[in-house]
Amino acid sequence: MARASVLWEASHMDSALQRFIRKAVELGGKARDHYDKEIQRAAGTTGKVLYDIDRGKSKNPNTTTLHAIAKALGQPFDLLQRAVAGEEVVPVEPGSEPSAAVPATTNTADVVVLDLTLSMGAGTNIDEYIEETTYQFDVDFIRSFTRTAPHRLRIATGIGDSMFPTLMPSDAVWFDTTQTMLKLQDKIWACSIRGGGAIKRLRIGDNRKIIVLSDNPAVPDDIVDEEDVRIFGRVLRLMRDL
């Protein structure tokens, strides 16, 4: 099948989403403006969504717009989510699978819940088998606090009181597994410290040391070697029962 010639602003083709959209349009075989008009009708907008993504003006389209893009380009909604999150994904041939166009009524995503209690005290051994299950959450709810694709998020529960009052025993936390480098000071991380699972606030110290901070003033801070810390992800938010 002949492919339509598409003009792109190459200087802005530097994100996973931009690269995904460009390839998807080329697979579709029609001009970008054709798909922009379809998206306008589906999303009820007058803007040129694909053009704005191409030139870097739009980097985090909302869920309604993503559904419209998925339908117009014949691409799985999940692939678009992953591209927005920065993951390099390859578009499918339009019409190659029944699930390529996600129905507008499908607006939930699975999130993995770890059956492992991460300590907010001395630490829990994580070398044992970790059981996983999944729960469905509303996509709009997830996107209200993160642009990370749902399949890269995890939920785990903490125990102990070293993070009180920020976190209480049995609080469930969401963490982002795409963030595994300690680049942000004093944030809370799901991690392993000396082989023990933990939910802790971390700070970069001197001489390749990491300061493990406790929000509870009654619990002293700890200083550990950099190699003794393994980060699973940055904690984004908590869920608490009343």
Q: What is the pLDDT of residue 5?
A: 37
29: left (phi over 0), alpha (psi -120 to 50) or beta: left
What share of the chain in percent tops pLDDT 90? 35
> What local confidence, expressed as pLDDT, does residue 224 receive?
96
- Give the residue-averaged pLDDT of 74-91: 87
Q: Same domain, yes or no, for 123 and 209?
A: yes
Provide the pairing of β-strand 187-193 with 172-176. Answer: unpaired
Per DSSP, what are the bridge partners of residue 117? 157
The Cα 11–Cα 63 span in angstroms is 27
- Among residues 73, 100, 127, the one where a domain terminates is 100
Listed residues 78, 100, 122: the one ending a domain: 100
**pLDDT at site 62:** 82
| Residue 5 belongs to a domain | no
% of residues, the chain, pLDDT over 70: 81
CA distances from 139 to 66, 102, 151, 170, 189 (A): 11, 13, 11, 25, 23
d(CA 24, CA 183) in angstroms, rounded, equals 34
Query: Do 126 and 229 fall within a single domain?
Result: yes
Following DSSP, what letter does each residue of 4-71 receive, concatenated? PP----GGG--SHHHHHHHHHHHHHTS-HHHHHHHHHHHHT--S-HHHHHHTTS-SS--HHHHHHHHH
Q: Verify that 19 and 126 share a domain, yes or no.
A: no
Copy the structure tokens of residue 188: 């809370």
Please check the confidence at residue 35 and state whether its pLDDT lies above 90: yes
- Note whether 140 and 204 are same-domain residues: yes
C-alpha closest to that of 192 among 149, 112, 128:
128
Domain count, the chain: 2
Kindly state whether residues 31 and 115 are assigned to the same domain. Answer: no
The CA radius of gyration of the chain, in Å to the nearest whole number, is 22
Q: Looking at residue 82, which CATH number applies to its domain?
A: 1.10.260.40
Domain around 85: 10-100
Decide if 2 is inside a domain: no
CA distance 41 to 117: 47
Question: Could you report the per-residue pLDDT of 106-163, keeping only the tens digit for each?
Answer: 588 889 887 656 655 544 444 443 567 888 888 888 988 998 889 899 998 877 888 9
Which domain CATH number covers 181?
2.10.109.10
Residue 62 lies in a domain: yes
Tell me the per-residue pLDDT of 191-242, one tens digit each, with 9 for 90 and over.
889 888 888 999 999 999 999 999 999 999 999 999 999 999 999 999 876 5
pLDDT recorded at residue 56:
86
